[in-house]
Amino acid sequence: MSTAPARGRTAPEVTCASVTKTFRGREQSVTALDRVDLRLAPGTLTALVGPSGCGKSTLLRIIAGLEQADEGSMVLLDGISPDAMRERGEIAVAFQDASLLPWRTARSNVALAQKLARQPVDRERIDRLLTLVGLAGFENAKPSQLSGGMRQRAAIARCLITSPRLMLLDEPFGAVDELTRRRLNLELPPTWADTGTTTLLVTHSIPEAVLLADDVVVMTARPGRIAATVAVDLPRPRRAAHLHTPEYHRLVDEVGTLLGVDEDFEPSTGGQP
């Protein structure tokens, strides 16, 4: 099921040490991340969950080298900097809104990634990959002609085409409906299994995190800190059947408790009409 030969590559190890990020505004500064330590084991998928504004996406962008962390922070990908890894075209990022270029067809959007990564454009492989993600027959469709789910799948194909060693997924399924999301969750991860890829997934969805990840990292907000890491040892490949196992539910509950979803909220005492 894998899309590319692993080419004997090893997946990179990602190390973040005391990563701090402060956004300086006019009146006040906001500490988005406060001395975050994180390690992504080679070849694993780590899910980052947390409330809105806890700095998940910021951390992902720092690992991608799209954002600079504050002084004293350290991010190393197999011992080299994110910038150096980007220059080699070994990173791929999937964004929340697919971010396909609207004037390009699905095929040419995928081909663009190869061009940007300075790889020869392999049309045959692009079409195979598009078929794999379920877009056979839509190679020449423009993004505006695709449904939301189809766009996300094209974006994933664009991510995979360069055989990245590090894949950074920033809520790639955030904009699709629940049913489509579940479906993408089950169908897509096998396409990059065993390709020597380390993956970081930022998500709001606890079930999604548990279903996809080897490790679920729980963050808290203001300032963004890592609260806990939960190891998920469900067997791979993950299937829909796993969704009904007690182990899965226990993990979802555990992550949920760490995030505080079970807390009772005080009813408002204000005089409501």
Nearer to other proteins, 97 or 253 (CB): 97
One residue of 62, 93, 129, 154 binding other proteins per CB under 8 A: 93
Residue 95 to residue 83: CA distance in whole angstroms = 19
Quick one: how many helices (H) and strands (E) in the chain? 9, 9
**Stretch of 34-42, 175-183, 245-253, 263-271 lying at the interface with other proteins (CB under 8 A):** 175-183
Nearest distance, CB of residue 65 and other proteins, angstroms: 8
Residue 33 half-sphere exposure, CB side, CA atoms within 13 Å?
Answer: 28
Find the DSSP H helices in 6-122: 56-63, 82-87, 106-116
Q: How many CA atoms lie within 13 A of 156 on its CB side?
A: 28
Q: Please tell me the distance from the alpha carbon of residue 119 to that of residue 114, in angstroms, as a whole number.
A: 5
Mark the segment that binds other proteins (CB under 8 A) among 100-108, 227-235, 237-245, 257-265: 100-108
36 lines the binding site for other proteins (CB under 8 A): no
Q: Select from 35, 128, 142, 242 the one that contacts other proteins (CB under 8 A).
A: 142
Q: Does 138 bind other proteins (CB under 8 A)?
A: yes
Structure tokens at 131: 């078929």
Q: Which 176-235 residues touch other proteins, going by CB under 8 A?
A: 176-180, 183
Nearer to other proteins by Cβ, of 36 and 91: the residue is 91
Q: What is the DSSP string of 2-37?
A: -SS--TT--PPPEEEEEEEEEEE-SS-EEEEEEEEE
Residue 106 identity (one-letter amino acid):
A
Please identify, among the stretches 97-105, 195-203, 229-237, 252-260, the one whose residues bind other proteins according to the rule CB under 8 A: 97-105
The residue assigned the tokens 């963004």 is: 224
- Give the shortest CB-129-to-other proteins separation in angstroms: 17
Of 39-47, 84-92, 210-218, 255-263, the window that binds other proteins (rule: CB under 8 A) is: 84-92
Contact stretch for other proteins (CB under 8 A) within 170-178, 193-201, 215-223, 236-244: 170-178
> 45-49 and 215-220: which strand pairing?
parallel
Binding positions for other proteins, rule: CB under 8 A: 26, 61, 64-66, 83, 86-89, 91-93, 95-97, 99-103, 112-113, 115-117, 138, 141-151, 162, 168, 175-180, 183
